Each structure stands twice: as C-alpha cells, then as structure tokens.
C-alpha cells in the first residue's frame, strides 16, 4: 500500500484540497461536527497529524499495543507543545502534556466503550467537542508537576 503525502492526507481529512478556498472553515466544521472525539482529532490539524502519525504513532505501534501507542502519541504531542511554549517563554511550562494525556485517555475510553454521537444536530456536536476541550483543559490546570 502506497503511503499518502501530507497534501493527500490533509485533503482526505478536510474534504478539500490544501490551500483551496474555504479549507479552514470546512476543516473546523468537519472537526467540530465529527461523530466522536477521536474523529475530531483525526480532522483537527491534518498537517501536524500527518507528521505525528508518521514519526510517532507508527513507530510506537510497531513495538507497543495500539491503545498505548495512541495514548503516547497524544502525550508526545503535548510534550512538543510544551517544549515550544518553554522555548518562546524562556520559562518552564507544563500545561499541554497533561492536557493531551487526558484527551488521549478520553479518546481511548470513547473507543473502548463505542461512544459515538448519533447523526443529528451539528450544534450539539459542536457543544460536545467544545465542552470536552474545555473540561480536559480545566482538569489539566489542576495537575502540578
């Protein structure tokens, strides 16, 4: 099976070619109205997701169970975000790692228990995903490392 380039990967996730008119709007709409929080993350940032999959998830998946590889990919994503934050701030910051760890745990629980949103109101899906983002972010502020 031939591997997709990032442009094809992004187009598959967003539904539009990279750089096309309305791509960002379409990406946000598809992410926030996704049928699960896991699907939200598959759509959210296709370029970053492409490279996380290529350099982190696939290598981890070759050596670890899929669920652990997925969770560690979320944690690794948080470490990358925190590293950039620390470089910019020139100070210690530890917010994204616990946040993405919580998000990854929720995605795994959602997968394990088969939780999915039924087709219906896009407004409900938007509220669902926004609430999960806000709730996990709030919880991560309680983590002090």
Place of tokens 């699960």: 36
Range of the domain at 83: 6-141
pLDDT digits (tens, 9 = 90+) for 106-142: 999 999 999 999 888 999 999 999 999 999 999 999 8
**pLDDT above 50 (res 1):** no
Task: HSE, CB side, 13 Å, CA atoms: give it for residue 97.
Answer: 14
Backbone angles phi, psi at 86, to 5 degrees: -65, -40
Question: Which one is predicted more confidently, 145 or 74?
Answer: 74
Report d(CA 140, CA 142) in Å as an integer.
Answer: 5
Residue 6 confidence (pLDDT) = 83
Structural domains in the chain (count): 1
pLDDT digits (tens, 9 = 90+) for 32-73: 999 999 999 999 998 899 999 999 999 999 999 999 999 999
List of residues 6+ apart from 78 with CB closer than 8 A: 96, 97, 98, 99, 100, 101
Total residue length of the chain = 145
Residue 92 in domain: yes
In contact, 50 and 6? CB cutoff 8 Å? yes
Report d(CA 94, CA 145) in Å as an integer.
Answer: 7
Residue 1 in domain: no
């Amino acid at each position: 099976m031939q591997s997709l380039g990032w442009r094809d990967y992004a187009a598959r996730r967003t539904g539009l070619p990279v750089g096309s008119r309305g791509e960002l709007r379409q990406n946000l709409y598809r992410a926030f109205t996704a049928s699960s929080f896991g699907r939200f993350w598959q759509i959210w940032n296709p370029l970053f997701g492409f490279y996380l999959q290529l350099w982190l998830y696939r290598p981890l998946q070759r050596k670890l169970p899929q669920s652990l590889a997925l969770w560690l990919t979320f944690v690794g994503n948080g470490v990358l975000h925190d590293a950039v934050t620390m470089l910019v701030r020139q100070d210690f910051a530890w917010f994204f790692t616990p946040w993405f760890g919580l998000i990854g745990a929720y995605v795994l629980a959602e997968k394990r228990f088969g939780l999915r949103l039924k087709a219906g109101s896009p407004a409900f899906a938007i509220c669902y995903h926004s609430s999960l983002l806000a709730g996990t972010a709030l919880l991560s502020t309680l983590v002090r490392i």
